[in-house]
Structure 1
């Protein structure tokens, strides 16, 4: 009779049952441990495969002019991207996708071939939300969208050099956008969402971190004055066939830059055919010899020395002065004695040089330095240059003479406008600002008040006296200023270029109580003349006239009212008084 092995060895059967029971118990314990005791483990791994944090874009701060007019705003746009692996599997739809994107199908196919193993590739950036949604509605596998912001500049080319622009990633790259990038830039937020293994959104869980928009920035620029200056400068360049030009307008009392324009300019909203030369903010970056616009500061040094007064005269006959190998000449060909005011009116290099020989080059250098020439303006504008104001250990006659009438040094248009604002502010210098100033700075007295006010009267005569720069006059206002014509230095060799000039004019108004200072620089006028009094002075006059009117500044040169004789009319004749 055959007996079962289990019956012969009952302990083996029991052992197998025990092992099976232990295995079931271990599995049951692990299930309880994972689902009840240590449930965070599975949840964390599940979330890692399904929970995602997608960025919430933050828009840059608004840039406005001093009156709140928008100069740079952020608008929402849609950026489309693709998962190369997913899109490659649906490549038969590339033709439809390329047509919707406005791209060449072959070019898109070649890009996809290069990125077929990648999970991210840009398709197009900066679409309008409506256009982006039209592409998404095609439901092409592997095509997704990102919400972004794009900068838009309502003033276009008018304020381009001041505002600058941002790159495709919304980071400042030029102008105030770059200078205040940290201030304007927002902080992106995070949104927690659930996605399936294909990347499709299942559920919007919560906002993990709110987006923080950038802070607003109010500039000192007045958009109305900016348009006015832009128009007149552009018209002057066309009329005189000039290569380039700049105009800077400064509030004499506050130091705020009310307008800053350059030509040529560009449209920051469309930079496809942008020329690098058009991007340059010439008012802050280009340096030049300012010519006769420096004579008022040399005259200030003479008046401060106590050795000269406005009624003193200088003999400029025969209109030229020989210094070693150099000959100084007067364009006006004035002969005989000239008063200090006449030297400014006639723009006599000979007269100015003789005064400079008497007071010394160091005194002239000191005044020019005090009004900010050759110094940092403190604006913090990217790429700004400080120019050059030479200081010699021993001032020879040639160096003294050339400095006195504006050669041998280099300045920017902003520095020139700032220096004239000091004269207009009775010798008190206040810091320049490209942002709106809410509390006035008292400034520093760098030129004695009586000297500055004397110069104001002398510069008023430069405009209003017979033979003065009448093209700079403004109806209803007394204006003070000085023209200049400077030859351009030859690049790569010594000396100056033939028939290449800069036409300049700088001044302020109203002369009775100056409020606005303007500097105009026009580069290489090629037709109808090149003198500053002919080319730049009319621009100054037109812009100043418009600015005084827009800022509602009271006239100081109105004709006296005509006395009218009131006649009583007989009541029987129906007359009335």
Structure 2
């Protein structure tokens, strides 16, 4: 008995040990499961969410750019961008007859692209979870791709910029890239304000990519700010049309024009040639991007003679009746000779402008304190930034000499030896038209008349405007006349500078003026570069553009015609309802 029992007991002992260990392990595992699923269930939930949770960016709508009347110049339209997950496609288990290659071919057919090209893209990005297929598609095109239900292909919402005015306002507004970031113009200068702030949405997806539930609260997107410009789209269209016609007619290389509100400093129109269509940049050339009105520099020539006369009258050494002897029609400074078209003899300041006498202008400048002309130019904004915040804006060149040679003083006085932009020249004429009161130039709409400073005595500014009227009435600016309105202005025809100095067969054609002359409201400068036709003088090329644009502007803005000489104002008699003309 002992022998049999001794061989049996150890076997029972090992059985119970194994059985006990199994029961213990079962209880431990069961207890742990109970703890995780009942007591500490949030742990597993959080771990699952971490592996399936996704955060999606909600794009913010870019702010609109508007003209002064609320007309849209740049708006954002919703589009769809189709994306793919190549890694998911290549690792997907397909049923009979389907492979990753056949799915790619089917997708290529729907997209209208070559299957070999698309196959290569998927192969190149085989290990990646993200790849763009098409960006900024209209809804119907995105729907067609999504209806194909290709594994790993999804879409997300984006915005695409649209420019209703097209090439007419392209240099002012600029454009954005495919990621909706500003690249030129106002879009670039005020990109941060226009962009807004993107939102976020967190959610959990299953293995098929379907949204199961959202997590937490969405962070809403904040749309970008709308920007209201000072530009009047009606005047912008008008100026653009006429400038383009002039460039075509005279076979010019380029051109620019600017219209300013005299009292507020607002830029009502700013146009350039050549231009581009921001809605279709497939054939865009870099040279077309230049906002020449604020970037390109040129010597202003005779258009600054009214500014020189402002310095002369402000000095007290000259009056409107002063006479200057231009005989014998030229001045020599060593090897340099300054000439007029003829010997005008003794002339007054008004005749100086009408005849555009370089000799008379030079004699005046030489009689003034050495820095008098320079100081006047600087007060009027030449040689410094206008300050509209536009990308690429230039200061121009206003030379400073410790000792001025007579020839340098003389040539500066009639517009050579310095350079400026179309906008800077328009600013100078705006100050003259505003009674010598300089207000800041702005690309944004102003609520009222901004604060400025008196940089020219009011009477001096009025006298110069009066003399400039004679240039349009009986001088080289006759083509700038506007029926029913009095115009004050000055022409300029400047030799271009080449690699070997001034080129005598290439010109800058200029006209700068204001209207109505008796109570100026608008100042405008037209610059045409390298007119290759038979006409190239500023009075022949640029003055007609001024006339056509300003005539339309007077009508659009409902600006009353000038009163005839000797009349002061027109009033409405309340008793008779008749207009009463009052004498001056």
Q: TM-score, normalised by structure 2?
A: 0.92
- Structure 1 residue aligned with 2:493, among 479, 485, 488? 485
User: Of residues 95, 98, 101 in structure 1, which corresponds to 2:108?
Assistant: 98
Residue of structure 1 in register with 2:574 after alignment: none
> Structure 1 pair 338/6, CA: closer, same or farther in 2 (3 Å)?
farther
How far 1:198 moved relative to its partner? Answer: 3.8
Secondary structure, in 3 states, of the residue corresponding to 1:3? Answer: helix
| Distance in structure 2 (CA, Å) of the matches to 1:181 and 1:86 | 37
Higher deviation after alignment, 92-101 or 422-431 = 92-101
Deviation track 1:157-205 (CA, whole Å, cap 9, x = no partner) reads 0000000000010000000000000000021111223212243444456
Q: By how many angstroms is 1:373 displaced?
A: 0.5
1:521 counterpart = 2:523: no
Kindly report which structure 2 residues correspond to 1:68-83, keeping only aligned pairs within 5 A, or say none.
68-83=70-85
**In the TM superposition, what is the alpha-carbon distance from 1:4 to its structure 2 partner?**
7.4
- Supply the distance in 2 between the matched residues of 1:306 and 1:474 (Cα, whole angstroms): 34
Structure 1 segment 158-557 matched on structure 2, within 5 A:
158-203=168-213, 208-331=218-341, 333-464=342-473, 466-490=474-498, 493-557=499-563
Q: Matches of 2:220 and 2:8 in 1, distance apart?
A: 71
Return the alpha-carbon distance in structure 1 between the equivalents of residues 252 and 399 of structure 2.
29
Q: Give the whole-Å Cα distance in 2 for the aligned partners of 1:522 and 1:200.
A: 61
Paired position in structure 2 for 1:33: 35
Provide the rounded CA distance (Å) in 2 between the counterparts of 1:311 and 1:506: 24
Distance 2:565 2:206 in 1: 83
Alpha-carbon distance between aligned partners in 2 of 1:474 and 1:5, rounded to the nearest angstrom: 131
- Which shows bigger deviation, 319-328 or 415-424? 319-328
- With 394-403 and 188-197 compared, the bigger mean Cα shift is at 188-197
1:30-179 to structure 2, matched below 5 A, reads 30-88=32-90, 90-179=100-189
Distance 2:390 2:366 in 1: 38
Q: Secondary structure at the match of 1:113?
A: helix
1:196–1:202 CA contact under 8 A, matched in 2:
yes
1:73-106, Cα deviation, whole Å (9 max, x unpaired): 0001111111112344522133332232232222
Equivalent pair of 1:430/1:444 in contact (CA under 8 Å): yes
Which SS does the other structure have where 1:500 is aligned?
Answer: strand
Unaligned regions of 5+ residues in structure 2, if any? 91-98, 568-584
Aligned equivalents of 2:27 and 2:123: distance in 1? 54
CA drift at 1:39: 2.1
Deviation sequence 1:202-251 (CA, Å, 0-9, x none): 44567521111111000110000000000000111111111110000111
**Residue 226 of structure 1 aligns to a residue in which SS?**
helix
Report SS of the residue matched to 1:231.
helix
More divergent stretch after superposition (286-295 vs 112-121): 112-121
CA distance in 1, matches of 2:8, 2:385: 103
Q: 1:5 to 1:280 in 2, by over 3 A?
A: farther
CA positional deviation for 1:23: 2.2
Q: CA RMSD in A?
A: 1.9
In 1, Cα distance between the equivalents of 2:388 and 2:8? 99
- CA distance change for structure 1 residues 306 and 386 in 2, over 3 Å: closer, same or farther? same
Q: Tell me the secondary structure at the aligned position of residue 159 of structure 2.
A: strand
CA distance in 2, matches of 1:28, 1:420: 91
Conserved in 2, the CA contact under 8 Å of 1:361 and 1:403?
no
Name the CA shift for 1:314/1:195 in 2 (closer, same or farther; >3 Å).
same
Aligned residues: 557
Aligned residues of 1:184 and 1:214 also touching (Cα < 8 A) = yes
Structure 1 8/353 Cα, relative in aligned 2: closer, same or farther at 3 Å? closer
Q: 1:343 to 1:4 in 2, by over 3 A?
A: farther
Equivalent residues of 1:162, 1:281 under 8 A apart: yes
Superposed displacement of residue 460, structure 1:
1.5
Distance 1:343 1:554 in 2: 30
In the TM superposition, what is the alpha-carbon distance from 1:140 to its structure 2 partner?
1.3
Helix, strand or coil: the match of 1:149?
strand
Cα distance in 2 for partners of 1:433, 1:335 equals 42
Alpha carbons of structure 1 residues 558 and 306: separation in structure 2 relative to 1, 3 Å: closer
Contact 1:427 1:446 in 2 (8 A): yes
Following TM superposition, by how much is the alpha carbon of 1:28 offset from its aligned partner in structure 2, in angstroms?
Answer: 2.6
Q: Which runs of no fewer than 5 residues in structure 1 stay unpaired?
A: 562-577
Q: TM-score, normalised by structure 1?
A: 0.93
* 1:312-363 Cα distance to aligned partner (Å, 9 max, x none): 11121232221111111223x2521110111011111111001111004410
* Alpha carbons 2:476, 2:491 under 8 Å: kept: no
